Every structure is written in C-alpha cells, then in structure tokens.
Structure 1
Amino acid sequence: MDAQSPRCNNTKEGGAGFAVIIVPVLLSLSTVVVVFFILWSLYCRRPGRQSLVKIVYNAGHGSISIDAVSGTRLRVQGPLDTWQMPADCTLEALESMQMGHYGNIYKSQLRRGCVTTAVLVKTLQGSNSQATAEEFAAWAQFHAVVCRHENLVRMLFCQTQKLPMYLVLEASSPGNLLHFLWTLRQNDVEKPSQLEHFSERSVYLVAKQVSAGLDYLFSEHGLYHGDVAARNMLIGSGLSVKVSGLGMAFEARQMGKVAKPWVSKVPMKWQAPERIMQLPLTDRSDVWSFGILLYELITLGSPPYPDMEPMEVFPQLQKSHRMRRPESCGRPLYDLMKYCWMWNFKDRPYFSSIIKLLDSYVYLADTKILCADDKMDITEYKKAAGFLSSF
C-alpha cells in the first residue's frame, strides 16, 4: 500500500500541471478566433469587397440595367421593417416610364408565387450618400404612414435597408388621368369598355374620389397637396381614382414648409390667388385648384384659360373674371367651379362639403358621352397651359 501511494500523488500533480498549460492555450486560441472573425467582417464590408447587383430587364426595345452596390447596410431610421420587399417577391418586365425626383420610375409586374400584380417602381439613383438615402427612406415612411386611403396611391413594399433602394407602389391602368382624357378625344384609339362611356356623371364620380383623398390628407394629417391637377391623378378600372404627386405634401411634413423649387413647378393657371401673391397656403388653396381640375375633366383635358397667356390670368382674376361655363357642363357643376374660385379662401368650401355637394348634384348630371372636336396637340397644350418643361 505504501509503495502505491507515491504513484497516485504523482498522477494528480501531473494532471494539475497539464491543466495549467492547456487552459491558457485554449483561452488564447478563442481570443484569436474572435479577433479573426471581427477583422474578416470588417474586411468584407470594405467598398472594394461589395458585390455589384445589376437588375436587367427587357423593355421591349433591348435590355436596360440598373447598377447598384448591394449588401450595404444603411443607417436608416424608422419602423419600415414590415414594409421591406419579401424574399419570395420578384419584380419582372420593368419598363422605364419617366425620370422622377429621386430617379427613374418604372412599370413592372410584382410576382409572388403564381400571382402577379401591376406596380410602379420608384428608384433612388444618381447618389448613394447617406443623406440622400435617409431622405428616400423618409419618403418611404411617408407612404407607409400617410398614404393609407383608398384614393391615395399606396405603397406595397420598399427596399430601404440596402442598395439599390426603391419603392413598390400600386399601379392603375390606363394611368395618368390627363392622358386618359386626351385619349377620349380620339375615336381611333381603343378604350377599355368600362371607361369608354365618360359623361358628365363620370366627372362627378371622379371628382368625388379626388375630394375624398384630399379631404383625408388634410383632416387626418394636416397636409395640403399643393399641385391638384389632372396630370397628378391616376385612373383605373371602373373609374377608380388615386391621388398622386405628393412631393409637396411630403416636404411640408418633413420641413414644415415647401421650398421654392417645388412651388415654382406648379403652372400659374392652376394656382390660387393667395399662392400667386406668395401668401401662406391652406387646404382651400387646393380647393381653387380642384375647381380647375373640374374644368379639365368636363373639357376632356383642355388647358384652363385657353384664351389667355399665363401672365394675363392674375390681373383678370383681380377684376373678378372667371372662366366661362364649358359646353356640356351643367349649371350645378359650373356653380361648384365658381364656388371653388372665390377670391377669399375663407369663402371656398372644404373638401368635406364638396363631397356632399357632389353627392347631391350627381343625379342632375348628364349621362351623354362627352366629346371634343379635335385631338390634343401636346406642344400647343404645354404652351397654352404655361408649362416650362415636360411633365
């Protein structure tokens, strides 16, 4: 027994010594591994290691592509997680439409499984600065919070947490209301069956939806549109209408005011007197412009004050001149136009009152199809309307 005791003691002492060596080595190795992964993560995030995503699509006349650095996480604030583009959704058949404030706007088809939906895609292009990315994300946030009414263009999804950044908005067909009105002048253009019978009663139905969208914008969010016109409305099947062109409402919500570049884009013939005089705007400045929209609707897209140059309009308004009642315009509709064109904004109706008036008058509206004698010449229209650039 005495002979075995020393061997047991030696084993215990050796094990203890072995542990003293192994534990520090393991700790050192774990530290090295952690540091390695941290450095590798930083290395992979360097600009030189970012992958370039190319969205390629066929627009019917060759392939077009949008290049953007992907995988870059952006420091964008706001509860937009639930709005991010799902992994099982894809955008197909993108077709370039026009250049928007932040970048190109495309028509597209949103595919999710076996279901496809017509959409508009608004992209951020030309600048990848943090400030621009945050502003674009705020634009998405505006759609998520404000545009929650059936008569405002609504956002379906967005991608704001990595590049390329874009918004996916619901689309309407035929689309632009002004262009649709012009097609009604053309007998040789095929029109959707549910839209071809466009009458004075149709004007009431369209106008009521626009009023509802603008009333919601002000009553729920304290915002005015700033550019109410047929060119900023979208028309869809069954005469469904969506208010679009909300850039000034977005800026007013973000900054508390609208910058001059936005204001200068609105042609004078659509502006209320207080706006021309650079006085504070109100929701009833939109009401004045809504009266001009009624004129556009009943004349199938004619420019307002067709016999005047833009700079001649304001002096005539000061003399109480108002546009004459258009042909095919009933007395109740014309009375509503003049109500919207009261000089003092306090004398104009609220949109909530306009909705009630439209409901009351619609049964008096003519159901005869509206027509115009000639096609619209775009160049002449832009000149008469006072546009300085394309729209």
Structure 2
Amino acid sequence: MAVQTQCNSSSGSDPICYEEGSGPLAVIIIPSLLALSTLIVVSQIIWSFITKRSSAQIITGSSSNVNEGDPVPLDTGFGNMRPAQDALDPWEIPAWCTLEGVELLQMGRYGPICMGQLKQDSTSTAVVIKTLKDGSNQPEASEFVDFVLFHITVSKHENIVKMLYCQTRRMPMYLVLEASVPGNLLHFLWSLREDRCGASDNFQMFSERSVYLVAKQVAAGLDYLHSYHRIIHGDVAARNMLIGSGLSVKVSGLDLAFKSRQSRTVDKEQEANVPVKWKAPERMMRRPLTVRSDVWSFGILLYEMITLGSPPYPDLDPSEVLPNTLTHYRMKRPENCGAPLYDLIKYCCMWNFKDRPVYSAIIRLLDSYKYFGDTKPLCAGQQMDFCEYRRKAGLPQ
C-alpha cells in the first residue's frame, strides 16, 4: 500500500511534509526527544567530572601540602584512637611530601580509592590512596586506623603490597600504598589479548613459563601471610594481584583478610563480594574458611593466567558451579596449558581440602615444573568483552 503524505506550505518557505497518521505532532516530538537525550548525556559527563574532581579534592584539598587538613578532634570520641595514632607516628606523611595528579579509581569499603603521584624532593612515585570517606563516625574512623596498622604489620614482604605513608592525625584520613606498573594483573592479562600474542609494546613476553614465575611469587606472599600472621587472604584472584616491571608481583586486596582477622569470621556482606567461581566447595556450602580454601582459589588463579584472563568455568553459569562441583566436575585443560601445570591446577582444586597442597609444597612444585613450561608467548582467540566477562564470572553488573 502506498504511503500518503500531506504537505503544508507557507509563503516563501519550503513545504513541510509528513506521513498521513503522524501529523505535525511528530515534527515537534522528535526534535524534543533528541534534545532531551543530548541533555542527559551532557549531564552524565558533567556529573562524572564533578565526582572525580571532588574525590581528588577530598585528599589534596585546596593546597598541594598534604598536611594542611583539619586536625582530628581528640576531645571527642575520636580521642579513643590516640594510642593507635601514637603507634602510627613514624608512618605519618611528612610535610615535605605532596600528592599530585590524584584521580578516582573506584569507591572502596571506607571511601574513595584513588591513583596519584607521591612527590618527595625530586622523585615521583606512583601510589594508590585509600581514603576514609567524609562524614565517617568514630567507629568507622577507629576501624580505618586499625586497617592502617594492619598494613604496617603485614607489608614486610617483597610479595605483599607495600605501605608508604598514612595520615591519621588530620582529616581526611588516608593510607598511601605503592602502586605497580602496569598494575592490576587481570587487566594486564587482558591487555596481552589486544597486542600481539602474549606481548605488550612496553612489557616483556608472557608465556607458560611466565605463569610459573608469577605464581611462585603469589604463593610466597600468601605463604608469608599465613605462616607469619595466621592470615587467610579470602579473595585470591588475578584482580587482587599487582604486576610490575620484570614480572614482579605483589599480593593486594587485603580488605577481607583484615576483617576476617579482626572478627575471626567472614560476614555475609563480605562473603557475597567474592564471586562463587573462585570459592572452594566448603566455602560455597558455608563451612569454616581455611587456608586450604585459598589454595583452591590459587588453582583458579593459575587458570586465569594461562588463559590470559578468561573467567573460570566458562561452560557454567555461576548458579551451576556448586551442583557440578558436587559431582567432581573439572574444568577442561586450557589451550597452551602443559600437563604439569594442569596437574597442579587439579591438585589445588581437590574436593577434600585436606588433600590440597600447602603453599610451601606449591612453591617447590612451581620451581620444579617451570622448566617444562613453554616459552612461546601465550595467545587468546579474541579480545575480552568486559560485559560478557562480568556475566560469566558472576561479578556485579
């Protein structure tokens, strides 16, 4: 059927035509909708800019001197923190240090987590700044101070993220941690998919043998946490590891370890933040968390590395993991994964936690197996679709 049109013409102008049934109303509505959508997009951009800027100002304030904030009022409930603050005195950031180029990364448990540069004399160091949010009450501030003390205690190992400074005697309170470049291990693995096989323009080749080298450092850091401090990490995954030059690695993401050490338990909110695909069976069934539960997650980390950041259990939805694990389901051997590495993954992911190796045994196996590791750069078939990854991994959308 032919479409009929009507045209209105006014003197000295071109005729305006529209389909019959739509009328002149469409001429008004469509431009209005376009204008509204443009306004929404512009508003979102402005809001994002304001949020990032305000988060940076929480730390830097109006001055480049990090020590020009308001003193913590010791004549209120905050005075209960005095003994802890005295212990932190050697770690308080000096007046001659400045934090520059501060940018918001994400919101953390206590407040904004930012990247920046720590300027000391003529040197500049990339840092991560964990901040206590504005308006926090006394219990929250006390917990944050304890969190800082926790980092001082555990950051005395080359494979644990290093604490540099803190600020607890003035507001805002924050913790300064040394950053690594390129940084997040999971993002680094994804970047290798975008470059040529297993190589980055500014980084060395990443092969199966590299997996052994990285894994040994992670195991050493986790072994230190448990052997010296009786600490269970609780969230062992590529997203919580930092990689630097020469494939140097540091264990990060210690928030859950801190909370579980404080209370000796993991509350429901914290447990919900750990994706099920990284959890050991006993943990999925809400049994007590043990260091061997971390060993299971370490096996999943090995899978992440050899697949350049693929989500584990790629053939299963998160809700299907526990039922299949109950029937002793195992992930297929990934492409480019040699038999020794696959055997170690299976060993770490034994059903009975008592059958899993301790970290000292894992380190010995990694040392022995690395000579069997292929030195050919790892390849992945395609770039990572982040939305699809979050869905398959069971992460919040």
State the TM-score, normalizing by the size of structure 1. Answer: 0.81
Quote the sequence identity (%): 59
* Aligned-partner Cα distance in 2 for 1:192–1:280: 45
Deviations, residues 98-144 of structure 1 (Å, cap 9, x unaligned): 11111111111111111111111111114332111111100000001
| Contact kept? 2:195, 2:201, Cα under 8 Å | no
**Aligned with residue 299 of structure 2, among 288, 291, 302:** 291
* Aligned-partner Cα distance in 2 for 1:104–1:129: 16
**Aligned with residue 169 of structure 1, among 177, 181, 192:** 177
Matched, 1:240 2:248: yes
Q: How does 1:127-142 map to 2 (within 5 A)?
A: 127-142=135-150
Superposed displacement of residue 72, structure 1: 2.8
Q: How does 1:73-222 map to 2 (within 5 A)?
A: 73=73, 74-75=78-79, 76=81, 77-78=83-84, 79-187=87-195, 191-195=200-204, 197-222=205-230
| Contact kept? 2:154, 2:160, Cα under 8 Å | no
Match of 1:66 in 2: 58
Matched, 1:301 2:309: yes
Deviations, residues 151-176 of structure 1 (Å, cap 9, x unaligned): 11111000012211000100001111
Match of 2:333 in 1: 325
* Aligned-partner Cα distance in 2 for 1:256–1:62: 38
Match of 1:14 in 2: none
* Aligned-partner Cα distance in 2 for 1:199–1:188: 12
Superposed displacement of residue 192, structure 1: 4.8
Match of 1:25 in 2: none
* Aligned-partner Cα distance in 2 for 1:378–1:116: 32
**Aligned with residue 344 of structure 2, among 309, 331, 336:** 336
Match of 2:280 in 1: 272
| Contact kept? 2:99, 2:119, Cα under 8 Å | yes
| Contact kept? 2:111, 2:131, Cα under 8 Å | yes
Superposed displacement of residue 315, structure 1: 1.4
- The one-letter amino acid of 1:191's match is S
DSSP-derived class of the 1:110 partner: strand
Q: How does 1:222-237 map to 2 (within 5 A)?
A: 222-237=230-245
Match of 1:45 in 2: none
- The one-letter amino acid of 1:71's match is P
**Aligned with residue 381 of structure 1, among 366, 384, 389:** 389
More deviation, 70-79/325-334? 70-79
DSSP-derived class of the 1:107 partner: strand
* Aligned-partner Cα distance in 1 for 2:369–2:309: 22
* Aligned-partner Cα distance in 2 for 1:192–1:252: 40
- The one-letter amino acid of 2:58's match is I
* Aligned-partner Cα distance in 2 for 1:272–1:208: 21
Superposed displacement of residue 62, structure 1: 6.9
- The one-letter amino acid of 2:218's match is V
Deviations, residues 354-377 of structure 1 (Å, cap 9, x unaligned): 000000000110000001110000
DSSP-derived class of the 1:117 partner: strand
Matched, 1:256 2:286: no
Match of 2:39 in 1: none
Moved over 4 A (4+): 61-64
Superposed displacement of residue 65, structure 1: 2.2
* Aligned-partner Cα distance in 2 for 1:318–1:151: 34
* Aligned-partner Cα distance in 2 for 1:91–1:254: 30
**Mind listing any 5+ residue stretches in structure 2 that lack a counterpart?**
1-48, 62-68
Superposed displacement of residue 187, structure 1: 2.5
- The one-letter amino acid of 2:57's match is S
Match of 2:29 in 1: none
Match of 2:358 in 1: 350
DSSP-derived class of the 2:100 partner: strand
How many residues are aligned here? Answer: 330
Superposed displacement of residue 313, structure 1: 1.3
Tell me the C-alpha RMSD between the 2 structures.
Answer: 1.9
Deviations, residues 213-268 of structure 1 (Å, cap 9, x unaligned): 10001000111111111111111111011111111110122122221111111111
- The one-letter amino acid of 1:143's match is H
DSSP-derived class of the 1:80 partner: helix
**Mind listing any 5+ residue stretches in structure 1 that lack a counterpart?**
1-57
